Structure 1
């Protein structure tokens, strides 16, 4: 690749670097401070002030931003303070009830097994991970991954787990001891892309929007899309997790929060362009390509009210699916995946 081409790709990709590029909000990125409107400030709130992690900059955290900006949290009785919180802060807050709810992917399941006191209470959206290769790569299908080096953000992270499930279901061992594939961690997705371009690795497993921006540059090709691949299509990869303490002591508060989230999901599903305008203009996510952002928002398939009414949103089934798959690749120790799935999921009556 020439220096000129390289600069244009990197310039586009650097914008995505600010997004956090994590499991729907597990890592932080700087975003602008947000404040409630004057009307909201005057509201009397049934449930008072609460903290919700919502400053990670991830595009797929859209329901948080929209529920805040459209006043859905306020309508349900909450004076929400959006905070930055890393993984450990979230775990502590969920355990002691100071953080009532967070969004996150199935990578959180092992943490529950290890003692974090939360329950899955709803689905958030479909896939937001892509695997990319240079245009001239011979890799086309999952079978071509045998013997290859795959870049991930961290060993044990969601892209790593997704790749492991995908490979194992195709008969390729993801266990490093077997040597079928090699996973290499990169602290920065931009470095991962450089590595795949230079041949240091064969595949880059990336969080959106970085994978999509790379593809749009014309220099990379997507060989796996979490939102469309048959192994994962139509399944929630990201969920809403509620503090068990708050669920036990204030179940009506969790129900009200879920109602606000569902209003936001429905609004996003029906108004993706307007949702992107709000997220971009309010600097919740540092993505300037609104056309691409809208494509991604649509691909995440946030459930509408109609989806929930007709049974399209099947959260409990998806929890069981990912528990089983994580057990199969060794990331869960449970001997009874069905029982564990039933234990970590709690249906909340929102109506």
Structure 2
């Protein structure tokens, strides 16, 4: 990856670490309100971003799984930098996030991967009349992303590099254009200002169902991402080391919710829509998407259908190969992944 892109990633990560000191004294008091009767822990969890990715959070909250495990949970809005700060100082014990967090961990954000959340929720789409079908077809063209260094950009870069197309800006084989608003990115695609758009769901899927775009990469089903976790659960290393029982209890709550979603996708969507947790209005599409994310059931875990550690190592290798990480995959995985004993902690 280009020096410019690596610099942007390092600067963003260092900025998050730098401001930690400013919040270190203020944030701990956010959870000092009186705990709900019978609760062992009062915590804040980011869970108001409107995405379907956070479905286990909504279900664990609405179905009482957090409460069953001893938590009095307040769902909060928190951008990426706020999440990093909270993880680092322990005021936020756990967040869901994609492998965009990997470089930040290497740069000093004190967190660890503790579980898989779900499979892919990112697509690369083109106009319906486009002849673009493969990464090779994107050579010398423009690709929209939400930000340079963000996960859609990482996904596009990995896809291109695996096909022998350089994603480095200085090589001028492709050009990435950032759009802070996904709707603006789609408008740019419709107008021909960009040739492809790497996007989060549900925007990409909503546009596809409306016939406005077609998908050329779906990381849920297409290589080199098929069958791999897209989003993981990240725990505060501080909380994990000081109170592993708390992280274990949180994972039990998340796993109850994942199992419920796996077996009851329609009911899960109804709960999410009723609670106004997601902005998606198309129930049928929401059920289709939430099913495609492959939230793991208890049976899948028992049968070792997936391996979280292997997925962490896989993406660490992919990001190392294109210059996003400086640490080799095995070393990175041993340092930033922990296998939590959900029955008791460490």
State the TM-score bracket (shorter-chain normalisation).
Answer: 0.7 to 0.9
| Secondary structure in 1 matching 2:100 | helix
Contact 2:36 2:72 in 1 (8 A): no
Contact 2:314 2:329 in 1 (8 A): no
Contact 1:123 1:313 in 2 (8 A): no
Q: What's 1:44 paired with?
A: 38
| Secondary structure in 2 matching 1:259 | helix
d(CA) in 1 for partners of 2:212 and 2:154? 26
Say which of 88, 98, 115 aligns to 1:95: 88
Check if 1:143 corresponds to 2:136: yes
Stretches of 4+ aligned residues off by more than 6 angstroms:
none
Q: Residues 50-70 of structure 1: CA distance to partner in whole angstroms, max 9, x if unpaired?
A: 111111111110000000000
d(CA) in 2 for partners of 1:157 and 1:204? 13
d(CA) in 2 for partners of 1:64 and 1:42? 18
Say which of 329, 341, 344 aligns to 1:349: 341
d(CA) in 2 for partners of 1:88 and 1:145? 32
Residues 298-337 of structure 1: matches in 2 within 5 Å?
Answer: 298-334=291-327, 336-337=328-329
Check if 1:294 corresponds to 2:307: no
Contact 2:87 2:237 in 1 (8 A): yes
Check if 1:114 corresponds to 2:111: no
Bigger shift: 157-166 or 195-204?
Answer: 195-204
Q: How far did residue 340 of structure 1 move?
A: 1.1
d(CA) in 2 for partners of 1:103 and 1:80? 15
Residues 2-151 of structure 1: matches in 2 within 5 Å?
Answer: 43-45=37-39, 47-151=40-144
Check if 1:162 corresponds to 2:194: no
d(CA) in 1 for partners of 2:36 and 2:99? 38
Aligned alpha-carbon RMSD (Å): 1.1
d(CA) in 2 for partners of 1:209 and 1:187? 16
Residues 107-256 of structure 1: matches in 2 within 5 Å?
Answer: 107-256=100-249
Q: Residues 176-217 of structure 1: CA distance to partner in whole angstroms, max 9, x if unpaired?
A: 111111100111111111111111110011110000011111
Q: Residues 228-251 of structure 1: CA distance to partner in whole angstroms, max 9, x if unpaired?
A: 112101100110001111111100
Q: How far did residue 42 of structure 1 move?
A: 6.7
TM-score, normalization by structure 2: 0.88
Structure 2: segments with no counterpart, 5+ residues: 1-34
TM-score, normalization by structure 1: 0.86
Q: How far did residue 43 of structure 1 move?
A: 4.6
Contact 1:153 1:159 in 2 (8 A): yes
Q: How many corresponding residue pairs?
A: 309
Q: How far did residue 48 of structure 1 move?
A: 2.5
d(CA) in 1 for partners of 2:323 and 2:270? 41
